[in-house]
Amino acid sequence: MNILGRKPSPNPSKWRIFVQNRGDPPHFYNRTLMPGRDVTRPWRLFGRPPLRETLRMKNLYQPATAAHIKERVAQVRPDSARQWGKMNSAQALAHCAGALEIAVGDTVPPRMFIGRIIGRMIKSKVVGDDQPLRRNSPTMPSLIIVEDRDLQKEQARLTALIDRFASTGPSGCTTSAHSFFGRMTPDEWAILMYKHLDHHLRQFGA
């Protein structure tokens, strides 16, 4: 039986079998009913990833991952050329620091109306695998930096926030809903913060 209560078809072009985790029973998804969907990661359709998949993904609670991110932050220079977007390097690091201030609960931006409609669905795609964030992804208005910033100060501020987030772990994570994605677990915040930092460091070649 499959998730729709139907027996699998013998036609291999119509049905695909996958095993979600080693030791789990196989499941069947009808490719004609859900064309083009990622059948190897069904939680991307129906909710958050299983714990084993969450632990496998890079996140900012992992000491080695946090240390590597800080090394990359230190590589950013005032003249680092951006690969996309409008912010310069100092503004981008200030933007990242602002996101981490939300993650640790220092600031709580209001929920976005569009996020209440589609945020949960988009969240499952963003934190559901190790794929990097897309270029020119939309951002919340409160994190748009337009004024000039001092790079060294923003590097120090961001590094301190990375240390704080990583060292306090889930107990130090915000319990407020994300402005766009809504309610998130600490592990989902840790994945999102890693991806967000990686995104902007790649933006400046770090």
The tokens describing 203, both together, are 């933006």
pLDDT in tens, 103-150: 999 999 999 888 889 888 888 888 888 888 888 777 888 898 999 999
Q: From 3.30.70, 2.40.160, 1.10.155, 1.20.120, which CATH number describes the 54-203 domain?
A: 1.20.120
Q: What pLDDT digit, counting tens, does each position of 51-72 carry? A: 444 456 899 999 999 999 999 9
The residue written with tokens 């704080």 in the block is 164
Query: Other C-beta atoms within 10 Å of 106: how many?
Result: 12
Nearest to 195 by CA among 105, 121, 99, 110: 99
Tokens found for residue 103: 């993650």
**How much is the pLDDT for 33?**
34
**Which tokens belong to 12?**
């291999």
User: pLDDT per residue over 119-131, tens digit each?
Assistant: 888 888 888 888 8
Quote the CA–CA distance of 191 and 199 in Å, as a whole number. Answer: 12
- Would you say residue 48 has pLDDT above 70? no
pTM above 0.85, yes or no: no
Span 6-34, pLDDT tens digits: 444 444 444 343 334 444 444 333 333 33
Encode pLDDT of 161-192 as tens digits: 999 999 999 999 999 999 989 899 999 999 99
**Domain parsing of the chain, residue ranges:** 1-40, 54-203
